[in-house]
Chain A
Amino acid sequence: MTALIMKDFMTIQRQFKSQAIFLIIIVIMSVLMQQSTILLFFIVFIVTIQAITALTYDELCNWDKYANTLPISKGDIVLSKYILSIMLIIIGLGFALPFVLLINRFTNHIATTNFFLTFCLIVTAAFCMLAMLLPIYIKFGSIKGRIVLIALCFIPSFLIGVLDEYVSNFLVTLSKLQDFSYFAPFVGLFILWLSSLISTGIYKRKDF
């Protein structure tokens, strides 16, 4: 497991260097605009892309064919991608948080309570996004996976459009659950764990 995570970090480290430039630009932008949430969103976006990039690199070189000749279980191969994603989110947020707090300190743009609420929801959204992306990419690969993903994003948008009335009622109900939003990242982690079970099931049935 450690070996696989280490290999993924070594594989994507060059990407980190190129994306560091964009990150600096975003840090400057968010300071100038006094919008700390932009930075948080951007970080979550970058780390999600990194986790998918690791999968794409594997697919390009047919890594799974080789990895499955090594004494590594299929479960570990899948789980390593999930742990990599969580580690990337922690590293990303760990990097962004001082900047975000500094911006907030000097601007008082968002109240501290609201900020932690936003923070929890962004982390949860990141977990949920990975919980959806990883099984799709593991099952279909990066090219077909993108098509499936577009289809999956289109269906909810279409349903929201059709069931507009009900959705707004649902959102009102959801806003009443605000007090529980601090637990949201744990719910996100639970969804991620369920997703890992699905991905392992898919992977074990795959031929290489």
Chain B
Amino acid sequence: MNAIEIHDLHKSFVGFSLKDVSFSVPQGTVMGFVGENGAGKSTTIKCILNLLKKEYGEILLFGKDAAEHEIAIKNDIGVVFDDLHVPETLNATQLDKFMKKVFISWDSHYYFERLAQFKIPVQKRVKELSRGMRMKLSIALALSHHPKLLILDEPTSGLDPIIRDEILDLFLAFMQDERHSILFSSHITSDLEKIADYITCIHNGEILFSESKDVMLYEYGIFKGSKEEVSELPEHAIIGKRYGIFGVEVLVRRNDVNEVFPLEKPTIEEIMLFYVKGNVV
């Protein structure tokens, strides 16, 4: 079963639109959702959460229509945005009291355990917490009703590598249960390389690719050479080309290229750049 399934999602604004976005997040996996600023990541996530009304298309969460079964579905999801959107005069203890009344499955013990793990002062008001602390509190809030699906919209942006690593470990721990799934939107592709199983890339409101991370990282390769050398590569192996001052970089399917061509292992960022800025064949 898919935790998230999106078919032909369309939403338009002045100067931007999501164009027939389709992808799915299989249950038990982490989907990395990448794209440049303004590509449509947050808009897609807002449509999934019914924060924005879609124009047409189908959004299914746990196999059910997201808008029709909104309340039941939202009992099983945890959401983390790029900031903590709660009144700044509240503190972590008051938020626990609130959440206890919102979720039947709210686990105060687990919540305070996470707060202790993250060293978040329980009586300090949200406005007195650092950005890192606020994000950790946001994650503790998203996890403490034991959701089946986490929807993360840039949760690690603006955080230092140490805090990011702690947060990623927490997501990895969440994924120990094979029924759990994560949709993780991020600019920081190195974070996704650590935890994602699949990568979906969006550009100008359109999905460029949605593939298994392992397929991309191990089956793709980058060949760097002159125009003459590149012309010797088999055409069907070439996915994309980027022309630079020192020659040409070519993203190829590793299995279709002779071993005499030295290939480098690509990163998600490089693959994304080939699709967004390069000439994809």
CB distance from A39 to the nearest CB of B (A): 27
Q: Does B46 have its Cβ within 8 Å of any Cβ on chain A?
A: yes
Q: Does A207 have its Cβ within 8 Å of any Cβ on chain B?
A: yes
Q: Is the CB of B101 within 8 A of A208?
A: no
A128-B75 Cα distance, complex, nearest whole Å: 36
Residue numbers in B under 8 Å from A208 (CB-CB): 46, 51-52
Q: Is the CB of B85 within 8 A of A63?
A: yes
B83, B102, B151: the one contacting A3 at CB < 8 Å is B102
How many A-B contacts are there with CB distance less than 8 Å?
Answer: 75
Interface residues of B in 81-107 (CB under 8 A from A): 81, 83-90, 94, 97-103
A176-B109 Cα distance, complex, nearest whole Å: 63
CB distance from B123 to the nearest CB of A (A): 13
A149-B53 Cα distance, complex, nearest whole Å: 28
Residue numbers in B under 8 Å from A70 (CB-CB): 74, 102-103
Q: Does A7 have its Cβ within 8 Å of any Cβ on chain B?
A: yes
Residue numbers in B under 8 Å from A58 (CB-CB): 87
Q: Which of B72, B81, B87, B151 has the most CB of A within 10 A?
A: B87
Interface residues of B in 27-73 (CB under 8 A from A): 46, 49-53, 70-72
A119-B274 Cα distance, complex, nearest whole Å: 73
0/1 string, A34-69, CB within 8 A of B gives 1:
000000000000000000000001101111011011
- Chain B interface category by residue count: 20 to 34
A58-B50 Cα distance, complex, nearest whole Å: 19
Q: Does A11 have its Cβ within 8 Å of any Cβ on chain B?
A: yes
Q: Is the CB of B98 within 8 A of A6?
A: yes
Q: Is the CB of B74 within 8 A of A69?
A: yes
A6, A14, A60, A68: the one contacting B49 at CB < 8 Å is A68
Interface residues of A in 52-96 (CB under 8 A from B): 57-58, 60-63, 65-66, 68-73
Chain A positions within 8 Å of B, measured between CB atoms, are 2-3, 6-7, 10-11, 14, 57-58, 60-63, 65-66, 68-73, 207-208
